[in-house]
């Protein structure tokens, strides 16, 4: 049985603030949740009350599986000043530790037309080698997310799972890996079985949404019994983040994926 983690930016918003969404998810039978940025500076539109969030997590016994690293950084775009990323990385790790969150999601930013793609991928390796060294001993794993450029993230450097795997192999740390997002991979037309086989144990976290549309499983055209079967066959047994835009009330939107995850 896979542990599902609803994203509290998108799901259970009917409950109100973030801490109340944790309680609503727990009341619906979930033991884990995920979120975007911890402070609201970048991804979420509203800053989070971290004390209230921590209290809700502890009160309900709910785990926080992942949070974004802030700020979302344009690593390849001049003037190549990454100091704020590294400064905020320490803050993010401190927050993650306080909330009991074992993973932080990182990205590639936009590609730069002035450099060859391979040069940029190798620079990402250097950037994240430095990041991993900086937070050594924290117990926090950084997971690099390739995202689709066809619909949601035009211009992003990292749009292929294989290139995320290339960077992760280059960083070469047990505390660095790849976030495999089933939705982004599907939109890019990837062969899920082949990508998972190539990545192996470098897949450290998984998220999902249906395609097309990025709604809940069942709202698009993906075969979710098949997708979860491929994930299981590949050896992944960690949590799965539900990062989708529900087309119906949150509790109803999770029905299909919960049923399938229970037997996957």
- DSSP bridge partners of 178: 144, 203
Bridge partners (DSSP) of residue 177 are 143
Active site residue 243: yes
- H/E stretch holding 224 reads helix 224-233
| Cα end-to-end distance, the chain, whole Å | 6
Could you say which of 70, 190, 216, 243 is catalytic? 243
**C-alpha span between 241 and 148 (Å, rounded):** 17
Burial class (CB in 10 A: 0-12, 13-18, 19+), 137: exposed
With helix as H, strand as E and coil as C, how does 4-26 read?
EEEECCCCCHHHCCHHHHHHHHH
Q: Which of 145, 188, 190, 216 is catalytic?
A: 145
Nearest to 53 by CA among 11, 23, 81: 23
Q: Give the CA-trace dihedral at 244, 248, 251, 254, to 10 degrees.
A: -50
| Residue in 227, 62, 238, 58 with CA at minimum distance from that of residue 141 | 238
Active site residues: 145, 243
């Amino acid at each position: 049985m896979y542990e599902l983690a609803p994203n509290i930016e998108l799901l259970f918003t009917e409950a109100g603030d973030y801490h109340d969404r944790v309680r609503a998810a727990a009341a619906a039978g979930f033991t884990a949740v995920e979120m975007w940025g911890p402070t609201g500076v970048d991804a979420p539109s509203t800053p989070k009350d971290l004390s209230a969030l921590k209290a809700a997590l502890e009160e309900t016994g709910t785990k926080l599986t992942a949070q974004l690293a802030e700020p979302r950084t344009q690593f390849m775009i001049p003037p190549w000043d990454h100091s704020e990323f590294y400064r905020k990385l320490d803050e993010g790790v401190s927050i993650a530790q306080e909330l009991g969150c074992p993973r932080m999601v990182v990205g590639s930013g936009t590609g730069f037309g002035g450099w060859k793609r391979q040069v940029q991928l190798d620079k990402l390796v250097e950037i994240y080698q430095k990041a991993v060294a900086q937070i050594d001993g924290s117990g926090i794993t950084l997971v690099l997310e390739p995202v689709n450029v066809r619909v949601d993230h035009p211009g992003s450097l990292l749009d292929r799972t294989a290139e995320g795997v290339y960077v992760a192999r280059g960083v070469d740390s047990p505390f660095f890996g790849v976030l495999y997002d089933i939705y982004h991979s599907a939109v890019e037309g990837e062969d899920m079985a082949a990508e998972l086989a190539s990545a192996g144990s470098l897949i450290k976290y998984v998220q999902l949404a249906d395609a097309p549309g990025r709604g809940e499983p069942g709202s698009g055209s993906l075969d979710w019994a098949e997708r979860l079967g491929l994930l299981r066959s590949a050896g992944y047994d960690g949590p799965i983040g539900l990062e989708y835009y529900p087309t119906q009330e949150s509790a109803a939107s999770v029905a299909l994926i919960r049923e399938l995850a229970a037997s996957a």
